[in-house]
């Protein structure tokens, strides 16, 4: 087992479903030990989300591998007592319950920092700990919709569509992991922790990129553009004999080379297309001219030609293709793991490749926990309970 950057860091994970668990997964991937607090009975909501195999949620396991689960009902005095004891033993607390709820349970940052001044207290919520919407609940699709991304995704003139993944949760999970690590970094100088406040809606705005720039500069409200890029041309999907091929030329050299490769060298000096601004202004004519040349070969044939010529290109892969892709295999990005009742199953790998961590150590060891699987272990080994005290707790609180 190689050394990992967060070896020795302990995380109290009071999160549910996706944004919070994705954050603590990223911390676990870097070596942190994660204690997942679950309510008695049903545990994390995502344990109920399909698909299930032999009763286990594959969704749940995909973001909770290698974490330890302790059952703890923070609505009871005993639960809060255990929770606070854990706070004194950890470096980080991540929670994603409704703003104000931690305070109402006597577990807010102002209280907890008194018992652990070094604590980094990371909150993820729909709209943040402040502002007029702070008390509203949110899920991925709510913030995708409110944050503008749905309004710029889809066919021009067509119905709005959701981004096909829960980007409204995953991106905040990523910013939360980054913010947590920044606060840990600062703590090594100051000795003091702090509160990190992540709002799902804020994160949607932070990734809007050219849509914000465009509206800000021009006052024009961007709309969906199907498969085209709003600012760069050509940068889109062309139909081939059997499917599509994506071609993306981000500068003049690439565009000029593409023109030669498709047998249209005359386009290079055409004043309609001689720089990116002109190509954007005449995008439909340009697309039609390129399309006419692409249509007569298959995607595989075009991939051979374009890859060989160094033109950025790619097929539109369905999910099954990823599982057999040689590059993703070489990069260890679909990792076969063993999970209790399920057996072997593949999950997404860790995209942060560190030179000091070998491929087999990129993901944490161990499967996703059963509810309360580590209650006794945590009570005894982290909190110093006796076996009898731990068993009494389990009998009364599980």
Binding positions for a second copy, 137-166, rule CB under 8 A: 137-143, 145-155, 158-166
Q: Which residues of 137-162 are buried (b: 16+ CB within 10 A; e: fewer)?
A: ebebebbbebbbbbebbbeeeeeeeb
Residue 311 contacts a second copy per CB under 8 A: yes
Name the token pair of 296: 């007569």
Residue 211 contacts a second copy per CB under 8 A: yes
For residue 261, give Cα distances in angstroms to 167, 272, 291, 309: 37, 19, 13, 8
By CB under 8 A, name the one of 53, 101, 305, 394 that touches a second copy.
53
For strands 313-314 and 244-248, give the pairing. Answer: antiparallel
Residue 354 contacts a second copy per CB under 8 A: yes
Residue 330 contacts a second copy per CB under 8 A: yes
Binding mask 17-46 for a second copy (x = CB under 8 A): xx-------x---x--------------x-
Q: What's the rounded Cα separation, in Å, for the pair 287 and 26?
A: 41
Residue 208 contacts a second copy per CB under 8 A: yes
**By CB under 8 A, what part of segment 227-266 binds a second copy?**
227-232, 235-237, 244, 246, 248, 250-251, 254
Residue 181 contacts a second copy per CB under 8 A: yes
Stretch that binds a second copy, among 89-97, 272-280, 364-372, 377-385 (CB under 8 A): 272-280
Q: What's the rounded Cα separation, in Å, for the pair 152 and 221?
A: 9
By CB under 8 A, name the one of 48, 115, 292, 324 that touches a second copy.
48
Smaller CB distance to a second copy: residue 286 or 379? 286
Does the annotation mark 229 as catalytic? yes
DSSP 369: P
Smaller CB distance to a second copy: residue 82 or 183? 183
Which residue in 391, 364, 296, 294 sits closest to 36, CA to CA?
364
E strands of 145-253, at which residues?
Answer: 195-199, 235-239, 244-248
By CB under 8 A, name the one of 100, 106, 117, 351 that touches a second copy.
351
Smaller CB distance to a second copy: residue 299 or 375? 299
Q: What's the rounded Cα separation, in Å, for the pair 321 and 302?
A: 18
- For the bound state, the minimum distance from the C-beta of residue 300 to a second copy, rounded and expressed in Å, comes to 14
**By CB under 8 A, what part of segment 88-127 binds a second copy?**
109, 126-127
Q: What's the rounded Cα separation, in Å, for the pair 149 and 167?
A: 10
For residue 378, give Cα distances in angstroms to 27, 225, 292: 19, 52, 65
Q: What's the rounded Cα separation, in Å, for the pair 237 and 225?
A: 12
Smaller CB distance to a second copy: residue 6 or 378? 6
- Residues 6 or more apart whose CB falls under 8 angstroms from that of 327 comprise none
Count of beta carbons in the 10 Å neighbourhood of residue 385: 19
Residue 323 contacts a second copy per CB under 8 A: yes
Smaller CB distance to a second copy: residue 291 or 383? 291
Count of beta carbons in the 10 Å neighbourhood of residue 235: 20
Residue 397 contacts a second copy per CB under 8 A: no
Question: Residues binding a second copy: what is the number (CB under 8 A)?
Answer: 159
Q: Which residues are marked as active site?
A: 229
């Amino acid at each position: 087992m190689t050394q990992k950057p967060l070896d020795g860091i302990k995380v109290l994970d009071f999160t549910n479903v996706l944004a919070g668990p994705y954050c603590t997964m990223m911390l676990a991937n870097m070596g942190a030990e994660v204690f997942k607090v679950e309510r008695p009975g049903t545990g994390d909501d995502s344990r109920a989300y399909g698909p299930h195999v032999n009763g286990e949620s594959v969704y749940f396991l995909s973001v909770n591998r290698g974490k330890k689960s302790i059952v703890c009902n923070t609505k009871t005095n005993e639960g809060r007592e255990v929770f606070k004891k854990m706070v004194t033993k950890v470096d980080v607390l991540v929670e994603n319950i409704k703003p104000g709820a931690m305070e109402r349970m006597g577990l807010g940052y102002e209280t907890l920092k008194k018992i652990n001044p070094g604590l980094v207290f990371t909150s993820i919520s729909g709209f943040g700990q402040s502002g007029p919407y702070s008390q509203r609940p949110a899920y991925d699709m709510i913030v995708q919709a409110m944050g503008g991304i749905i309004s710029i995704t889809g066919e021009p003139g067509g119905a709005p569509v959701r981004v096909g993944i829960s980007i409204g949760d995953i991106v905040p999970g990523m910013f939360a992991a980054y913010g947590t690590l920044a606060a840990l970094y600062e703590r090594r100088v100051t000795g003091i922790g702090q509160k990190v406040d992540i709002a799902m809606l804020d994160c949607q705005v932070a990734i809007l990129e050219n849509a914000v720039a465009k509206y800000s500069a021009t006052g024009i409200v961007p709309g969906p553009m199907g498969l085209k890029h709003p600012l760069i041309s050509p940068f889109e999907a062309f139909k081939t004999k059997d499917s599509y091929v994506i071609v993306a030329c981000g500068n003049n050299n690439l565009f000029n080379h593409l023109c030669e490769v498709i047998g249209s060298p005359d386009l290079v000096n055409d004043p309609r297309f001689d720089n990116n601004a002109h190509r954007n202004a005449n995008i439909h004519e340009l697309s039609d001219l390129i399309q006419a040349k692409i249509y007569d070969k298959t995607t595989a044939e075009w991939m051979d030609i374009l890859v060989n010529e160094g033109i950025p290109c790619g097929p539109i892969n369905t999910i099954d293709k990823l599982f057999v892709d040689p590059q993703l295999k070489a990069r260890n990005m679909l990792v076969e793991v063993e999970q209790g009742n399920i057996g072997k199953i593949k999950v997404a790998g860790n995209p942060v490749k560190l030179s000091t961590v070998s491929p087999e150590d990129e993901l944490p060891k161990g499967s996703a926990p059963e509810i309360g699987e580590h209650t006794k272990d945590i009570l005894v080994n982290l909190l110093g309970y006796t076996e009898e005290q731990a068993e009494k707790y389990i009998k009364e609180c599980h």
